[in-house]
Amino acid sequence: MDMTVKTVLITGASRGIGAETARIFAQAGANVALLARSQDAIAELAGEIGPKAIAIPCNVARISEVAAAVELTVQAFGSLDVLINNAGVLEPIAHIADVDPDAWAQVIDINVKGVFNGIRTVLPVMKAQGGGTVLTISSGAAHGPIEAWSHYCASKAAVNMLNRCLDKEEGEHGIRAIGLSPGTVATQMQRDIKASGINPISKLAWEDHIPADWPARCLLWMCGPEADRFCGDEISLRDEDIRRAVGLI
């Protein structure tokens, strides 16, 4: 995919999938807006990428901050063609009977409200341009219960349905809405899962996880016409046909 003159806004860009996605899209020629709460991390990444990147400190759970970030992105680059809803958290890993309610709710705020806030603020820009692409990180947790992950499972199930609703309402207006379920990825989140010692996922060996650039490369592929058939749906990176199409195997 050649993304020259295209602009991509990435939430949760400070590390893991988000940071690798920024690198991959910049290599493809895109302008990238890096959003995260970790100001130093995204500033360092923007410096690494160069003039095609801007770092915007942002808490995606606050729509005013997301709206300001979208405005800054458009001012800097003149357009906003792709939104990648990557920001997400899992901690605290805890059973329903024990979890702190405020901490549980904060996961919902980031994982669900953060995705909605991104979609809601980019839609006017994208529709005025004649269309755009919204890619959202989903999870196998959207489709099955996992012990001590009630907040994460609930949030990812909600995000999956939000993606489908976006396609239903805005597909005819040129908005491509696709989810990506990457499987387990070698990031800090997996280290936190490992440390918890709860549920089978924490027992996986590190080599069982895919590298963070795999979902990043898949997200780039999803911006092209080959992925149009998945609009309103979710792509699983566990699927060997998808891995082959992306060029991972």
Active site residues: 152
5: left (phi over 0), alpha (psi -120 to 50) or beta: left
CA dist., res. 226 & res. 158, Å (int):
26
- Name which of 248, 105, 117 is nearest 185 in CA terms: 248
Q: Please provide residue 199's backbone torsions phi and psi, each rounded to the nearest 5 degrees.
A: 70, 160
Inter-helix orientation angle 16-27/39-49, to 10°: 20
CA dist., res. 56 & res. 188, Å (int):
22
- Name which of 29, 88, 40 is nearest 60 in CA terms: 88
Output the six-digit token pair for 177: 């809405």
